[in-house]
């Protein structure tokens, strides 16, 4: 019979190794069987849960099944043959019975699994592929042995034949397994235009990420576009992920159990994520194979008697281990990143859904910016955490394993090294905590800065008109200064951290070796001990440095978790606060003592169905709040509100979506042509639609930039009318439109004969002339309803209302149409009069089309192609060239020292051993230590230099950006969405601040590491010079190939990210409208689609990273292979020390290569920030702010005489003149009214006066000075404007009136008194220091207008321009403003752009403009007699 299973002479100590037959017939058979039986239960359960649909039988499947059955038959043929032998009395060893039985059953199981997988829709199975592979490998060994021994043993012909058949069948099965099945029936992929190839790819393709290659090739040939991206897998889509997460989050938040959110994330993503545990553990174990094989290899080199094949065997083993490690590691990363991506989707979805139901008071606690931050920053934190979280258990595991192996190697002296490590951990932890606090501080300053920038950009027109840019620039720089201080501190910390990071492994090695050789004379440091230890220390270094990072990442994520939890546990609107339902008696709407927060109403009123109710009252008496209460937006203290049926709501400040005009009106309802036409006609939108470049299909910009205020208001109204609700709530919709349009709308829509005559309508209004037609009038004062009744009843009662009317009784006729408001564009914020000349000439339509195309193309553009070298040069210049070169020099020093120290170590290990000890131990140790310390000094130096340089750069770049943006002309801000600009100030500057410096450090580090490793390998085995260049070329090719695609994917991802945020922003602004129309579902769907679009670009970029890493690590693994191979070939010439050195360096090279590509592509994607910041430096600028030579005297203008001489103005080079040959002389102290139909160029005149747009021809002369010759600030400080849009900035009231702190408090109080704000301001707790909210939200529109008046009074300049400042104010306030202007600006020149003609009837002169020319000019009475344009306008207003 046979020798026992292990016979080392046969297997190991021989030139021609082989296994014993016993081993072949037992162990080699059992391995595949055991594998399959262990996998089976787990895999079976997994398949039962994950059903992908049914795959039809295909030829491939039939073949696999048939082969499986034949294999079973072949195995059992052996079994029956054994029985037959028994009957012939030939007794073989028992395993001849056991082996075929076990194998046969296993083959049956395999065949069953092939079919079961088909039924469950698995297209390519990993479990089976691995099974066939293991079986084949085991069979190969047996096969080889059979061939070698053919001559020796009497051949068992039958078994030999069956074995050959078995072997061939296994080979065929394995080959078949590499092909994927066809897709399952009824799967999504069938009707998907561009499905993700992942699930239909074969197993091999999936583990090597080969399936993305198609996309990579495409990306290499031409820049990718959004249509090239695959659609997301079903399980990554929002509609799959968010509902699960939401259900779990929203429920427990009532109990607000502490860890609820964490539990949710665990429950939702745990099972999939658990797979990564297994992968990570396998990878960690394989990591330690490297050093162990290295040990064997060094022994092999030392032992000259060993047979050569052992060296090749070790080399092969090393290579196989490295390759397995690569495949496993990237599967692990893939799982982590996909989980991270799903987490982000879930978080964004949940935040969005929450934002739609949160109460207004809760929304006030977090600004829009903060909520958007939750979406961007905090969701990102979770994504990062997903990749790190496994390190929590993996790092300690790696450390323990490494220490165990080290102990075996060096004995107790390892403890010295461990002690050093343990000392470094708290230092690292302290640093991490400090960094955390600095980060929080920096975030705070950053938030403040962005908030301020946001306001500056939104109110840029006002800043320019008032010449306040410098004051605000100082405010921004002050915040920035704080931010940089913190940055500097964290830079010092970062330098310390890098120092410990880089020096830790060295210190550990030094202390360990020092202790080892000094403890005992006989402790010899030979190559095996030294280099295996070094390899282990290198492994140790990673977990030890990761731990602090992981911990800080967890801390950050927990902070984010807290912020999320706070946001998600905000109170939600109580859907029952208003009862929507029918009530008897045809009454419809109640409000009973509902005390509302901020305003204590106690109100009772009922509105009969189908009636028209007006709500009137002073500014700030709570009219809008009353409507909010009806919408259920206020907190109800007591009482009840009942609204019957559906509600439509028109807010005071129109909310317009970034969509086409038609979508804005239809707002998610079905399209009904005839109704749509009626609505547009009734809301007077037809003329506007004709003007727009593509009619009602024109896309409207964010916040409606390309519509005027009046147009937006009408669109908002049309939306409400179209939706055909039962109850209509109008919050002063007529204030922003002109009188004749207002009248049209009242008659056609709101009034007793309008479209809505049978609906219940509540109208908040300032226009008295509509009151007689109302059914009921509510008069409010201070949150109470003081009177209520019909027009006649209220007049009879002779109360406050009658008083209110009587004030205006004399003006009654003049107010007939509440003044003629002339332009249907109350030119709104951004489009400085862009819309005003739309109707003037037909030719304007072509440029307008361009205007609209700009609006939509100026979205963030994705640059294509490589980043230019000039960008790096710009950044180096921003740092300072001296510092740049110094840091490069220090890098060189550090790496030279590091190489030298390791080379020295290899020389040391090769010292001959005499009498059991080495000579010169102390010298060797001393030099080793010295080299290490110099390395440390260099590290610290370069770290400091790079960090400080980075701060210089970011200070310089931010200052430039800010200055350039503030110096840009108004046209630039109209063209560029504010989101883009804010993005530059937040995202790009943040990148320059805190991302680029560390990336540069790591990039330089990896580059030098790779070069260093190659040098060492070349030193040891010069023959490697043949191999390294071709591998280098492969590497470069792969990298360029990858970067082309990756960069474009990154760009697509960031371009598709903006819509997510802007849509979210929009939703937050219009949340009350969305809720009133009950459109939440549709908006949630839209958000999901946008998030999915973004993830669609993100997913391929993750996979592309994995693709690259697998390819590159294979290049690295080849370097390992060749380093070891050449060492084995040249074993007789090489010392063990050099072999150890070169192989231990080559083991690290894989990691370094990976880092290098990661860092170079990171650097390339991040350095784009510098490019984008520089981009704005090259923009056109407006004229100088102040010019010393031509600065006028400080008392100028003395009399305020304004002359226009042949003045003409155009908006852009390619447009016609908007104003042409205007010749007017206005004497000091004259009061001039400027009137004209829409688009006549009234506002353009003021823009010319302020040089917001420079003159195209002619000149304007003020008191003898040509304004085009002096600096802009010199001009704008001397003229005052009260703009149309009352814009306030967040900050104290005082800052809003006087940002430069030029005036005393008495002056400010006097101006407030004259502006009728004194009572209001003195009632505030903080008086002048009252904080205005963002955009002045906490003052009513009327109060804001008065604040603007106070600004003008405070400046008291000789020339005052009024831009239809009376649109949003009720008549009483209007009266106040007019009288104040008359009395206070007695001797000033006043130019008024009039809407309500009655305001200018007593002015000295009136200019009538038409199509940009002055057609009439003279006193009002004179013009009325001439019966010209002015007369017809006065007639429209009912003034004649």
Determine the pLDDT at residue 502.
Answer: 74
Q: Phi and psi dihedrals of 604, rounded to 5?
A: -130, 125
- Three-state DSSP state, 650: strand
Q: Phi and psi dihedrals of 728, rounded to 5?
A: -120, 130
The mean-pLDDT minimum among 158-167, 558-567, 818-827, 873-882 falls in 818-827
| pLDDT band with cut points at 50, 70 and 90 for residue 248 | low
Instruction: Choose among 537, 502, 430, 549: nearest CA to 941.
Output: 502
Determine the pLDDT at residue 838.
Answer: 33
Instruction: Choose among 130, 124, 268: nearest CA to 198.
Output: 124
Q: Give the CA count within 13 Å in the CB-facing half-sphere of 1327.
A: 5
Higher pLDDT, 517 or 701: 517
Determine the pLDDT at residue 834.
Answer: 34
Phi-psi region of 597 (alpha: psi -120 to 50; beta: other; left: phi over 0): beta
Determine the pLDDT at residue 818.
Answer: 36
CB 1394 within 8 A of CB 1233: yes
- List, for residues 887-946, the tens digit of each pLDDT value: 889 988 988 998 898 888 888 888 787 776 777 778 888 898 898 888 888 888 888 888
Helix (H) or strand (E) holding 606: strand 604-608
Which of 510-515's residues contact partners 24+ apart within 8 Å by CB, and which partners?
510/928, 510/929, 510/932, 511/416, 511/417, 511/419, 511/420, 512/406, 512/410, 512/413, 512/414, 512/416, 512/417, 512/537, 513/925, 513/928, 514/416, 514/925, 514/929, 515/413, 515/416
| pLDDT band with cut points at 50, 70 and 90 for residue 317 | very high
Higher pLDDT, 989 or 51: 989
Q: Return the top range by mean pLDDT from 87-91, 326-330, 423-427, 463-467.
A: 326-330
| pLDDT band with cut points at 50, 70 and 90 for residue 1238 | low
Burial class (CB in 10 A: 0-12, 13-18, 19+), 191: exposed
Say yes or no to pLDDT of 193 above 80: no
Residue 452 to residue 1295: CA distance in whole angstroms: 13
**Rounded to 5°, angle at Cα 405 from 403 and 411:** 80
| pLDDT band with cut points at 50, 70 and 90 for residue 1295 | confident
Q: Write the DSSP symbol of residue 773.
A: G
Determine the pLDDT at residue 596.
Answer: 43
Instruction: Choose among 899, 900, 923: nearest CA to 911.
Output: 923
Higher pLDDT, 941 or 197: 941
Residue 3 to residue 5: CA distance in whole angstroms: 7
Length of the chain: 1440
Determine the pLDDT at residue 1076.
Answer: 84
Q: Which residues contact 318 (CB under 8 A, 6 or more apart)?
A: 289, 290, 293, 294, 297, 1120, 1121, 1124
Determine the pLDDT at residue 670.
Answer: 83
CB 1351 within 8 A of CB 1293: no
- List, for residues 434-463, the tens digit of each pLDDT value: 888 888 888 888 888 888 888 888 788 888
Instruction: Choose among 1302, 1408, 1286: nearest CA to 1347.
Output: 1286
Higher pLDDT, 1334 or 230: 230
Dump the DSSP string for 281-340. Answer: HHHHHHHTHHHHHHHHHHHHHH-TTS-HHHHHHHHHHHHHHHHHHHHHHHHHHHHHHHHH
Helix segments in 569-685, DSSP class H: 623-631, 661-666, 673-682
Residue 876 to residue 872: CA distance in whole angstroms: 6
Determine the pLDDT at residue 1368.
Answer: 53
Place of tokens 């174990």: 285
Percent of the chain with pLDDT over 70: 87
Dump the DSSP string for 548-582. Answer: HHHHHHHHHHHHHHHHHHHHHTS-B--TTSEEES-
Mean pLDDT for 1051-1055 is 82
Say yes or no to pLDDT of 1249 above 90: no
Higher pLDDT, 501 or 582: 501
- List, for residues 1118-1172, the tens digit of each pLDDT value: 888 988 888 888 888 878 888 888 888 888 887 788 778 778 877 877 887 888 8
Structure tokens at 393: 């258990």
| pLDDT band with cut points at 50, 70 and 90 for residue 328 | very high
Write the CA distances from 405 to 503, 504, 1158, integer angstroms.
22, 19, 31
Mean pLDDT of the chain: 79
Determine the pLDDT at residue 324.
Answer: 92
**Checking DSSP bridges between strand 760-764 and strand 604-608, what pairing results, if any?**
unpaired
| pLDDT band with cut points at 50, 70 and 90 for residue 599 | very low
- Three-state DSSP state, 913: coil
Determine the pLDDT at residue 172.
Answer: 92
| pLDDT band with cut points at 50, 70 and 90 for residue 320 | very high
Mean pLDDT for 957-977 is 83
Mean pLDDT for 1292-1302 is 81
Mean pLDDT for 864-877 is 77
- List, for residues 9-18, the tens digit of each pLDDT value: 666 666 767 7
| pLDDT band with cut points at 50, 70 and 90 for residue 582 | low
Q: Phi and psi dihedrals of 243, rounded to 5?
A: -55, -40
Say yes or no to pLDDT of 1395 above 80: no
| pLDDT band with cut points at 50, 70 and 90 for residue 823 | very low
Q: Write the DSSP symbol of residue 993.
A: I
Q: Write the DSSP symbol of residue 863.
A: P
Mean pLDDT for 562-589 is 64
- List, for residues 750-779, the tens digit of each pLDDT value: 878 888 888 888 888 877 777 888 888 888
């Amino acid at each position: 019979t046979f020798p026992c299973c292990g016979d080392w002479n046969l297997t190991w100590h021989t030139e021609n190794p082989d296994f014993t037959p016993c081993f072949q017939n037992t162990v080699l058979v059992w391995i595949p069987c055991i594998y399959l039986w262990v996998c089976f239960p787990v895999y079976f359960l997994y398949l039962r849960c994950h059903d992908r649909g049914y795959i039809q039988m295909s030829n491939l499947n039939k073949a696999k099944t048939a082969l499986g059955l034949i294999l079973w038959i072949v195995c059992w043929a052996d079994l029956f043959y054994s029985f037959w032998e028994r009957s012939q009395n030939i007794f073989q060893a028992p395993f001849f019975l056991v082996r075929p039985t076990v194998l046969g059953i296993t083959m049956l199981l395999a065949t069953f699994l092939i079919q079961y997988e088909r039924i469950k829709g698995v297209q390519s199975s990993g479990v089976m592929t691995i099974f066939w592979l293991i079986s084949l490998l085991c069979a190969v060994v047996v096969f080889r042995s059979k061939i070698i021994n053919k001559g020796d043993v009497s051949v068992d012909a039958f078994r030999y034949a069956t074995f050959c058949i078995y072997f061939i069948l296994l080979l065929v099965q394995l080959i078949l397994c590499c092909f994927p099945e066809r897709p399952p029936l009824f799967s999504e992929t069938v009707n998907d235009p561009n499905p993700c190839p992942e699930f239909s790819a074969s197993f091999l393709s999936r583990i090597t990420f080969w399936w993305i290659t198609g996309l990579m090739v495409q990306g290499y040939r031409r820049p990718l576009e959004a249509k090239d991206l695959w659609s997301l897998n079903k399980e990554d889509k929002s509609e799959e992920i968010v509902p699960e997460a939401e259900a779990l989050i929203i429920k427990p938040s009532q109990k607000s159990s502490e860890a609820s959110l964490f539990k949710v994330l665990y429950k939702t993503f745990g099972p999939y994520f658990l797979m990564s545990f297994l992968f990570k553990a396998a990878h960690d174990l394989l990591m330690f194979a490297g050093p162990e094989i290295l040990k064997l290899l060094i022994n092999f080199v030392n032992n000259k008697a060993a047979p050569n094949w052992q060296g090749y065997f070790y080399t092969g083993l090393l290579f196989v281990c490295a390759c397995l490690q690569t495949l496993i590691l990237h599967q692990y990363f893939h799982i982590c990143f996909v989980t991270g991506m799903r987490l982000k989707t879930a978080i964004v979805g949940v935040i969005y859904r929450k934002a739609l139901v949160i109460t207004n008071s809760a929304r006030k606690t977090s600004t829009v910016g903060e909520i958007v931050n939750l979406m961007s920053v905090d969701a990102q934190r979770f994504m990062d955490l997903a990749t790190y979280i496994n390190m929590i258990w993996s790092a300690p595991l790696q450390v323990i394993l490494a220490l165990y192996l080290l102990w075996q190697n060096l004995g107790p002296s390892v403890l010295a090294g461990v002690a050093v490590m343990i000392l470094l951990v708290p230092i690292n932890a302290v640093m991490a905590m400090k960094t955390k606090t600095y980060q929080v501080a920096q975030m705070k300053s950053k938030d403040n800065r962005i908030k301020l920038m946001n306001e500056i950009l939104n109110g840029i027109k006002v800043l320019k008109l008032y010449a306040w840019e410098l004051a605000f620039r100082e405010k921004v720089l002050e915040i920035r200064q704080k931010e940089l201080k913190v940055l500097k501190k964290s830079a010092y910390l970062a330098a310390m951290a890098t120092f410990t990071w880089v020096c830790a492994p060295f210190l550990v090695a030094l202390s360990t070796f020092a202790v080892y050789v000094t403890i005992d004379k006989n402790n010899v440091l030979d190559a095996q001990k030294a280099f295996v230890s070094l390899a282990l220390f290198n492994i140790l270094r990673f977990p030890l440095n990761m731990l602090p990072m992981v911990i800080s990442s967890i801390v950050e994520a927990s902070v984010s978790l807290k912020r999320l939890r706070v946001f998600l546990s905000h109170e939600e609107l109580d859907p029952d606060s208003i009862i929507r339902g029918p009530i008897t008696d045809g009454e419809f709407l109640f409000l009973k003592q509902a005390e509302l927060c901020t305003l204590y109403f106690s109100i009772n009123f009922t509105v009969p169905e189908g009636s028209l109710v007006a709500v009137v009252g002073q500014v700030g008496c709570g009219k809008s709040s009353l409507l909010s209460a009806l919408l259920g937006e206020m907190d109800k203290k007591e009482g009840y509100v009942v609204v019957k049926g559906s509600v439509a709501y028109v807010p005071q400040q129109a909310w317009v979506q970034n969509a086409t005009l038609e979508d804005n009106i239809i707002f998610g309802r079905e399209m009904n042509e005839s109704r749509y036409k009626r609505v547009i006609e009734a809301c007077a939108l037809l003329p506007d639609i004709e003007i727009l470049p593509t009619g009602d299909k024109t896309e409207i910009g964010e916040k409606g930039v390309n519509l005027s205020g009046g147009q937006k208001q009408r669109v908002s109204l049309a939306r409400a009318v179209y939706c055909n609700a039962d109850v209509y709530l109008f919050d002063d919709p007529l204030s922003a439109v002109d009188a004749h349009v207002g009248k049209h709308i009242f008659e056609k829509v709101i009034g007793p004969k309008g479209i809505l005559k049978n609906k219940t309508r509540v109208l908040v209004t300032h226009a008295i002339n509509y009151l007689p037609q109302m059914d009921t009038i509510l008069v409010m004062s201070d949150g109470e309803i003081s009177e209520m009744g019909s027009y006649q009843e209220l007049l009879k009662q002779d109360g406050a209302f009658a008083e209110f009317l009587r004030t205006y009784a004399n003006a009654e006729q003049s107010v007939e149409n509440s003044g003629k408001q002339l332009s249907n564009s109350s030119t709104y914020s951004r489009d400085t009069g862009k819309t005003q000349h739309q109707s003037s000439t037909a030719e304007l339509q072509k440029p307008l089309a361009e205007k609209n195309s700009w609006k939509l193309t100026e979205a963030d553009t994705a640059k294509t192609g490589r980043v230019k070298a000039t960008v790096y040069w710009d950044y180096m210049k921003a740092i300072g060239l001296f510092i740049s070169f110094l840091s490069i020099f220090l890098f060189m020093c550090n790496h030279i020292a590091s190489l030298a120290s390791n080379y020295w170590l290899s020389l040391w290990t090769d010292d001959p051993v005499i009498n059991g000890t080495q000579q010169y131990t102390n010298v060797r140790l001393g030099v080793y230590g010295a080299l290490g310390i110099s390395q440390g000094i260099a590290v610290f130096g370069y770290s400091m230099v790079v960090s400080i340089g980075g701060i210089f750069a970011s200070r310089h770049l931010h200052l430039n950006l800010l200055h350039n943006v503030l110096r840009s002309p108004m046209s630039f801000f109209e063209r560029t969405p504010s989101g883009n600009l804010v993005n530059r100030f937040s995202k790009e500057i943040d990148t320059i601040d805190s991302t680029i410096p560390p990336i540069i450090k790591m990039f330089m580090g990896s580059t030098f590491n790779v070069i260093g490793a190659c040098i060492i390998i070349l030193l040891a085995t010069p023959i490697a010079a043949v191999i390294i260049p071709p591998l280098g070329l492969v590497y470069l090719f792969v990298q360029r190939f990858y970067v082309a695609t990756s960069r474009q994917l990154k760009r697509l991802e960031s371009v598709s990210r903006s819509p997510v945020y802007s849509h979210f922003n929009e939703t937050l602004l219009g949340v009350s409208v969305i809720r009133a129309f009950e459109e939440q579902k549709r908006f949630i769907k839209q958000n999901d689609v946008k998030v999915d679009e973004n993830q669609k670009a993100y997913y391929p970029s993750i996979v592309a990273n994995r693709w690259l890493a697998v390819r590159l690590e294979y290049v690295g693994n080849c370097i390992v292979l060749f380093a070891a191979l050449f060492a084995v070939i040249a074993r007789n010439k090489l010392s063990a020390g050099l072999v150890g050195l070169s192989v231990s360096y080559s083991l690290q090279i894989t990691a370094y290569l990976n880092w290098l590509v990661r860092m170079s592509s990171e650097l390339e994607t991040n350095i784009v920030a510098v490019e984008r910041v520089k981009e704005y430096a090259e923009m056109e600028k407006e004229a100088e702010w102040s010019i010393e030579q031509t600065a006028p005297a400080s008392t100028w203008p003395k009399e305020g005489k304004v002359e226009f001489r042949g003045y003409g103005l155009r908006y852009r080079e390619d447009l016609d003149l908007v104003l042409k040959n205007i010749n007017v002389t206005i004497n000091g102290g004259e009061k001039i009214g400027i009137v004209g139909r829409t688009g006549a160029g009234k506002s353009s005149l003021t823009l010319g006066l302020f040089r917001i747009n420079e003159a195209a021809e002619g000149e304007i002369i003020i008191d003898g000075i040509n304004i085009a010759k002096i600096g802009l600030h010199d001009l704008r400080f001397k003229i005052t404007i009260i703009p149309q849009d009352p814009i306030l900035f967040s900050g104290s009231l005082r800052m809003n009136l006087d940002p430069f702190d030029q005036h005393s408090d008495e002056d400010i109080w006097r101006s407030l008194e004259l502006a009728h704000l004194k009572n209001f301001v003195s009632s505030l707790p903080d008086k002048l220091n009252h904080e205005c909210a963002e955009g002045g939200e906490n003052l009513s529109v009327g109060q804001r207008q008065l604040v603007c008046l106070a600004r003008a009074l405070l400046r008291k300049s000789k020339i005052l321009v009024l831009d239809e400042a009376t649109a949003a104010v009720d008549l009483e306030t209007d009266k106040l403003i007019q009288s104040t202007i008359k009395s206070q600006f007695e001797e000033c020149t006043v130019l008024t752009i009039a809407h309500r003609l009655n305001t200018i009837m007593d002015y000295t002169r009136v200019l009538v403009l038409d199509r940009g020319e002055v057609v009439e000019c003279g006193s009002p009475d004179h013009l009325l007699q001439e019966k010209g344009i002015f007369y017809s306008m006065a007639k429209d207003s009912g003034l004649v």
